[in-house]
Structure 1
């Protein structure tokens, strides 16, 4: 049985371009990342820490705890290397496990072959030691092991998450082409929103952006909405420790929000879906929902605030011409009605983004699935640098 309090190498994976915001989260939670890469962050932490991180991280995909790293030159050597690991320290002999492999090596043309070698090695070790073997399969509802192999460097980890963390568990009605919850969290962290001033989200769709803003502002973490993780199936797991952390999540909630969070959409159906999702997340009472054209959305008077829009990208033939007008109107709306706010336009069409007609302070790169996107950040001055009231630099 392994010691859950002993520190080791932890790798937290994320989608490409999320890593700076994952690092930001980790620092806010009191951790010190050792290395930050394009799709993962490394640090020293314990399995107890991994439990905490699974319950708190908004932008992560999986939390991995290293079992062993070794030199591996050919797939034929994998079975022996794996069989020598003390799997009985991590897995009950009557348990269930699955294996995920990420392989980039000339001796393997299918990572499933590596999965099979690892499963056979684990099963044979148990059979020789105990006369029985744990079950295995592809479902991630037991102990999950993750294998990485590139060139001659190989590592095996416990995947403490199981199913991905990018879904935060409250979105029962996804809507059309929604942004994933982890992506929304990353954009909010990138935006610089202070979590203390008004947040307005026209074209809200299924409400994910406004909901994630409310979750951030009130210290609600994703672990509130999930009760199944792969760490629960590691030998030596203490359910009492998990229940203690779950109670701490409830105590961290701060509903004393003295600013407006507003979500609007022209579609009644979208607002109904948004309210349902917000209710599941426990933040419906914190968001004002409006059925209206985006130009008629309430914009509270404030010295500062965030105005976040995620318009369509025009992926189908003929749509782009129609959307040019929408993007121009977004620019006019922000310039005329959002003085003092930070304007945020998330788009997967960089040409349409230029039609907003304002000069962005920053163009922050993201991927939405495979779509190359930008979060355009506009400073909407109260009176421009040229002294023209209510305008913004172009």
Structure 2
């Protein structure tokens, strides 16, 4: 199977509510989207083209290359279809593979059973053709086979990513309750930031928002921080294609920038973690870190940039009075010290959001894990409303 040079259905997945930002990324790289849906987009491309996407995308989770689509009403029919496929042309017999799945079939009570049938079919095919078999297990760091099976419709994919793309590889120290990198990138895409004006991030935690902002503004792509992908473990892989794409990533980094990115936190440990993560990402010299109360965060005058908070949400039920006071102080800080900026607060607690004391101009929908969240946008006018032509274009779903 010449998968690296054969066009097929490719599904790029993402977390729910990130698909509009993912779609913009994919189109900006020159690809045509066939359809989009709440958790991803569909293309028709070769596996070689998936290499470029894996290295460039900030909002994606997995990039899945379809090997076959077929009907299967039960596990035995699934097995029969899969055992006929030439797995020996895709997986090295001395290699290792794992199986993942997304299954909604009335004959299956647990996806683990579907995974087992896929694994059995691949192993039995190898035994019949080669009288030997590759090893298999749960690790996603080699060849990964993915099954999508809904009712009687089944698709079998090669997961060209392996480990999720939603983690960008620079955050060696996660810190307390960190925001996933793909979500952080999407929230920044949803703002009015032009990647030139000041970016201010009080309550920075482990620094993910500030680091992602610096990476975007300097065109540093996630592929710079990672050297292992699922596509590398598929027979026919040409490593020169990967290294050529990686050279492009290095060449397109914007080195001479006049950026103002400020990240502060009351916790010395959080700021130290942020600094270390920023250094791993190669952007530590582009971010000014400071230990202080968020209300003492320096905000450049006349910058007309963005101020972004990602505070604690507390429990949805039973709001804590301490957090209520914090949310009110955030509103006061933006109103008094951030005039001319666009303010943003990411929260999963609508009751606390009411304590901010400002009227949101937009409420942009996100999920953080399974928690229903909003990015609240506030236009912080400096005496007069900003003319419409001065407001950067935006994408995103309002609610």
* Coarse TM-score class (shorter-chain normalised): over 0.9
Query: What does the per-residue CA deviation read over 1:128-182, in whole Å, with 9 as the maximum and x for residues that have no partner?
Result: 1222222222211221110011111110000011111111111122111111111
Aligned-partner Cα distance in 2 for 1:7–1:256: 39
1:371 has 2:343 as partner: no
Deviation, structure 1 residue 75: 1.7
Does the CA-based 8 Å contact 1:17-1:367 persist in structure 2? Answer: yes
Does the CA-based 8 Å contact 2:259-2:286 persist in structure 1? Answer: no
Query: What does the per-residue CA deviation read over 1:51-103, in whole Å, with 9 as the maximum and x for residues that have no partner?
Result: 11111111111000000011111222111110111212211222221111211
Aligned-partner Cα distance in 2 for 1:316–1:121: 46
Aligned-partner Cα distance in 1 for 2:278–2:245: 23
Structure 2 stretches of 5 or more lacking a match? Answer: 387-399
Does the CA-based 8 Å contact 1:51-1:231 persist in structure 2? Answer: yes
Query: What does the per-residue CA deviation read over 1:304-329, in whole Å, with 9 as the maximum and x for residues that have no partner?
Result: 20100111112298762111111111
Counterpart residue number, 2:326 = 326
Deviation, structure 1 residue 3: 4.2
Deviation, structure 1 residue 204: 0.6
Does the CA-based 8 Å contact 2:312-2:347 persist in structure 1? Answer: yes
Deviation, structure 1 residue 303: 4.7
Alignment of 1:148-227 (within 5 A): 148-227=148-227
Query: What does the per-residue CA deviation read over 1:162-212, in whole Å, with 9 as the maximum and x for residues that have no partner?
Result: 111111111122111111111101101111311111100011111111000
Does the CA-based 8 Å contact 2:198-2:303 persist in structure 1? Answer: no
1:113 has 2:118 as partner: no
Does the CA-based 8 Å contact 2:359-2:378 persist in structure 1? Answer: yes
- CA RMSD after TM alignment: 1.6
Alignment of 1:11-90 (within 5 A): 11-90=11-90
- The number of residues matched between the two structures is 386
Q: Is the partner of 2:2 in helix, strand or coil?
A: coil
Q: Is the partner of 1:4 in helix, strand or coil?
A: helix
Deviation, structure 1 residue 216: 0.5
Aligned-partner Cα distance in 1 for 2:317–2:375: 24
Counterpart residue number, 2:391 = none
Structure 1 segments (4+ residues) deviating >3 Å:
316-319
Aligned-partner Cα distance in 1 for 2:245–2:90: 22
Alignment of 1:314-353 (within 5 A): 314-315=314-315, 320-353=320-353
Q: In the superposition, relative to structure 1, how do residues 280 and 385 fare at CA in structure 2: closer, same or farther (>3 Å)?
A: closer
Does the CA-based 8 Å contact 1:313-1:320 persist in structure 2? Answer: no
1:252 has 2:242 as partner: no
